[in-house]
């Protein structure tokens, strides 16, 4: 899978105009009828996407680093675990309960569900469902 699978054709075109063709932000913005800052944001987004794709490809298969995580989850993993990319997903699920992860700042149900959806792709639905159900509050 290429990083291009995660960005729109328009954003790729803007990136190519800037990086490949060497055009200025101003000339691209005039041609497309958008602001210079928006062009800069799109180019930065594509570069981040390429960087994250390269990191995922370099991470060991089955590790947290090989998952496609949201920016919020990546930030939380960095804060809670440090160098999280090489941490094995099964090891993580065994060490950190869903209940404990729910107590991490800035993580709500959507973040937990996003993480679970990505984890299912690696370790399977049964394993992730056991992890999620073990974290349910029974109070």
- Number of separate helices (H) and strands (E) present in the chain: 8, 0
Residue 101, in any domain of the structure: yes
Count the domains in the chain.
2
Q: 82 by DSSP, 3-state: which?
A: coil
Does residue 139 sit within a domain? Answer: no
130 vs 91: CA distance, rounded Å: 14
Element containing residue 112 per DSSP (H, E): helix 109-123
Q: For residue 95, give its domain range.
A: 64-134
25 and 51 in a common domain: yes
CA distance 101 to 104: 5
75 and 28 in a common domain: no
Residue 74 and residue 125 in one domain = yes
Query: pLDDT tens, position by position, for the chain (139 residues)?
Result: 566 666 789 999 999 999 999 999 999 999 999 999 999 999 998 888 777 666 666 666 788 888 888 888 888 988 898 878 888 999 999 999 999 999 999 888 999 999 999 999 999 999 999 999 985 543 3
Kindly state whether residue 127 falls inside one of the protein's structural domains.
Answer: yes
């Amino acid at each position: 899978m290429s990083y291009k699978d995660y960005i729109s054709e328009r954003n790729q075109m803007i990136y190519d105009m800037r990086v490949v063709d060497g055009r200025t932000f101003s000339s691209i913005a005039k041609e497309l009828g958008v602001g210079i800052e928006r062009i800069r944001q799109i180019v930065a987004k594509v570069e981040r996407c390429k960087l994250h794709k390269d990191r995922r490809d370099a991470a060991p298969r089955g590790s947290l680093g090989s998952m496609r995580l949201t920016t919020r989850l990546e930030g939380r993993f960095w804060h809670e675990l440090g160098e999280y990319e090489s941490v094995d997903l099964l090891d993580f699920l065994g060490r950190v309960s869903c209940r404990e992860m729910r107590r991490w700042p800035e993580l709500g149900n959507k973040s937990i569900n996003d993480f679970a959806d990505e984890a299912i792709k690696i370790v399977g639905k049964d394993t992730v469902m056991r992890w999620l159900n073990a974290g349910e509050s029974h109070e």
